[in-house]
Amino acid sequence: MRVEYITARMAWMIYGATGYTGELVAGLAKARGQAPVLAGRSADKVRPLAEKLGLPWRAFGLDAPDLREIALVLNCAGPFSHTSRAMVDACFAARAHYLDVTGEIEVFESIFARDAEARERGVVLLPGTGFDVVPSDCLAATLKKRLPSATSLELAFAPHGRPSRGTLKTMVENLPRGGLVRRGGKLVRVPPAHLAREIPFCDKPRMAMSIPWGDVSTAYKSTGIPDITVFMSARPSAIRGARISRYFAPLLGLGPVQKFLKARVEARGAGPDEAERARGKVELWGKVSDGSRSIEETMQVPEGYTFTAEAALACALRVLSGSVAPGAWTPSLAFGADFAASLPGVHVPSCG
């Protein structure tokens, strides 16, 4: 098949630009002198934002995508289980690169499964360009470099800040699915908070519980390490609550329960304000082991949404520059293990 070259002279697009995260990325892009096309399914929402930022705009639903003259789409419209397949299809048809800020394991898996198609079409697929999974993926890749014989990987993060409405909606959808870890190279369902233990974060140790985080998919693609568990810091009461939820997890998937929970989320604010984002930060920790040796690394990054905007914009600009070959990639495979450390406000302290 003939592959047409995607040129940096063409425009790029932020889809879902009117959401909390999309607007942060759009504002940052404008501040950095970029002019992405802002897009979303509602003209009434996209037009005022585009006029405020002085950027071009388009309105379309995913049943009739309009990617004319677009070289790259950064999809910020989540939950991505509802948007990524249609947008990847549209990107293949338009020969545009596809990036998103998903953290959803099933979405990563379905995008990685389209690697061969992406190569054939000359398109880059790069999901997970936000907090989930840029820093943890780079931490995993760094650890694998330091211990190539590693057979197990543990990653953990301790957020200081609150989630956005869109993140909470995505979490509500995933509640009934319980936990997920990787064992022997396979994704394995486990109960919520299957494992809990103290993690030696750089600033202080904290209790943490296992969670179904994106790295269970992406770190395997990046490192090939067969056993992967991701932890998030949590108070003992939250760990007990997550464990109790095992007994009614199937109920959480029922239509009326999902509707009720999403309505409660809808009533909340869109996400942390500027002052909260400025105060927030995230501690990350990772450990690899090969049974006889183990190595640990830590990282500190800015608040999750501030980091997401910086990381997603940096990924989009690097892909537009032509530095990534066609195919489906993780951030560390696309840009190297040092990529996260090159972003503003990221520190790689030596602890312990």
Ligand X SMILES: NC(=O)c1ccc[n+]([C@@H]2O[C@H](COP(=O)([O-])OP(=O)(O)OC[C@H]3O[C@@H](n4cnc5c(N)ncnc54)[C@H](OP(=O)(O)O)[C@@H]3O)[C@@H](O)[C@H]2O)c1
Nearest-approach distance from CB 218 to ligand X, in angstroms: 11
Asked if omega into 133 is within 30° of 0 (cis), the reply is yes
Within positions 181 to 240, which residues make up the interface with ligand X, using CB under 6 A?
Answer: none
CA distance 301 to 287: 18
Nearest-approach distance from CB 88 to ligand X, in angstroms: 14
- Closest to 169 (Cα-Cα) out of 95, 270, 101, 97: 270
Nearest-approach distance from CB 149 to ligand X, in angstroms: 30
CA distance 98 to 16: 13
- Of 6-14, 78-86, 147-155, 278-286: span binding ligand X (CB under 6 A): 78-86
Q: Which of 12, 20, 92, 108 binds ligand X (CB under 6 A)?
A: 20
CA distance 137 to 307: 14
Within positions 26 to 65, which residues make up the interface with ligand X, using CB under 6 A?
Answer: 40-42, 45, 62
Within positions 129 to 168, which residues make up the interface with ligand X, using CB under 6 A?
Answer: 130-132, 164-167
> What's the burial of 51, exposed, middle or buried (CB within 10 Å: 0-12/13-18/19+)?
exposed
Specify the DSSP class assigned to residue 257: H
- What is the number of residues in the chain? 352
Beta strands in 36-128 (DSSP E): 37-40, 57-59, 70-75, 97-100, 124-126
Q: By CB under 6 A, is residue 19 in contact with ligand X?
A: yes
**Which of 6, 111 has the CB closer to ligand X?**
111
Binding mask 284-323 for ligand X (x = CB under 6 A): --------------------xx--x---------------
- Of 80-88, 116-124, 195-203, 317-325: span binding ligand X (CB under 6 A): 80-88
Q: By CB under 6 A, is residue 331 in contact with ligand X?
A: no
- Please report the sign of the dihedral spanned by the C-alpha atoms of residue 160, residue 164, residue 165, residue 171: negative
**Which of 164, 289 has the CB closer to ligand X?**
164
Do the Cβ atoms of 184 and 229 come closer than 8 Å?
no
Nearest-approach distance from CB 130 to ligand X, in angstroms: 3
**Which of 327, 331 has the CB closer to ligand X?**
331
Nearest-approach distance from CB 240 to ligand X, in angstroms: 25
Give residue number: closest CB to ligand X: 166
Nearest-approach distance from CB 271 to ligand X, in angstroms: 5
- Of 12-20, 181-189, 225-233, 236-244: span binding ligand X (CB under 6 A): 12-20
Residues that contact ligand X, how many (by CB under 6 A): 33
CA distance 72 to 68: 11
Structure tokens belonging to residue 21: 């995260």
User: Taking every pair of C-alpha atoms in the chain, what is the biggest distance, in angstroms?
Assistant: 60
Nearest-approach distance from CB 90 to ligand X, in angstroms: 12
Q: By CB under 6 A, is residue 95 in contact with ligand X?
A: no
Binding mask 100-129 for ligand X (x = CB under 6 A): -x-x--------------------------
| Residues in a beta bridge with 296 | 287
CA distance 337 to 17: 29
Beta strands in 93-200 (DSSP E): 97-100, 124-126, 152-160, 179-183, 186-190, 196-200
Q: By CB under 6 A, is residue 83 in contact with ligand X?
A: yes
Type of residue found at 277 = R
Element (DSSP H or E) covering residue 242: helix 236-244
Nearest-approach distance from CB 196 to ligand X, in angstroms: 23
Binding site for ligand X (CB under 6 A): 16, 18-22, 40-42, 45, 62, 76-80, 82-83, 101, 103, 130-132, 164-167, 170, 270-271, 304-305, 308
